[in-house]
Amino acid sequence: MRIGLACLLLAFAGTAQGQSVHKCVGKGGAVSYQSEPCAPAQKAVKSWDATPAPPPSNDELWRRHYRRKQGEADSRYLSRLAGTDGSRASAAYAPSPAATDACAAAKARREAILRQHNDDVGYDARRALNDSVYDACK
C-alpha cells in the first residue's frame, strides 16, 4: 500500500520549473511585474528567469556549521591570548587592601577638613583635596 502510494505521488510530482518574470510598461508609464508575457497594449521592458536557488545540501549545511563553530573557537582562543575575553579582568584589576585603606584614609581626611571648615573651603583647596583622593584611589 505504501509503495503504491509513493509511486503514485512520484508520478504526479513534476520537476520544479522556473518561473519567468516580465516587466511591462502600459499607457501612461504604469509599470507592472507579472509572470505572464506582456499584453499587446503593453511594452515589454525586461524579462528574466526567477528560479529560486536550490536549498543547500546536508553536506553543505554541516560544512557551514563546522566553519561557524571553528570560527567561534578561534575567536575565543585569540581573545584569551589577547586578554580581552573578560575571564581575568576582575582579578587583574582588584585593588590591594593597602590601596583601599589609603583611599579610605584620603576620603576621611577630605571629609574631616570640609567638616572642620563648615564646607567654607575655596575652589583651589577643594581641588587639592579631590586630587589627593583621586591619587590615593586610582
Which residues lie across from 49 on neighbouring strands? 20
Can you state the angle between helices 97-116 and 123-137, rounded to 10 degrees? Answer: 170
Set of cell numbers at residue 9: 505521488
More confident residue, 14 or 32: 32
**How far, in Å, are 74, 95, 127 from residue 130 at the CA level?**
45, 19, 5
Residue count of the chain, please give it.
Answer: 138
Distance of CA 15 to the CA centre of its chain: 39
**Single-letter code of the amino acid located at 94:** A
Cβ–Cβ under 8 Å, residues 128 and 120: no
Q: Which of 12-16, 81-85, 97-101 has the lowest mean pLDDT?
A: 12-16
The mean pLDDT of the chain is 83
Determine the pLDDT at residue 88. Answer: 58
* Structure confidence at residue 92 as a pLDDT band (50, 70, 90): low
pLDDT at 3: 60
Confidence (pLDDT) at 31: 95
Given phi > 0 = left and psi -120 to 50 = alpha, else beta, which region is 82? alpha
| 94 compared with 8, residue with greater pLDDT | 94
Report the pLDDT value the prediction gives residue 14, as an integer from 0 to 100: 43
Distance CA 127, CA 110 (A): 11
Q: What is the pLDDT of residue 16?
A: 47
| Residue at 48: amino acid letter | W
Task: Tell me the per-residue pLDDT of 44-78, one tens digit each, with 9 for 90 and over.
Answer: 999 999 888 899 999 999 999 999 999 999 999 99
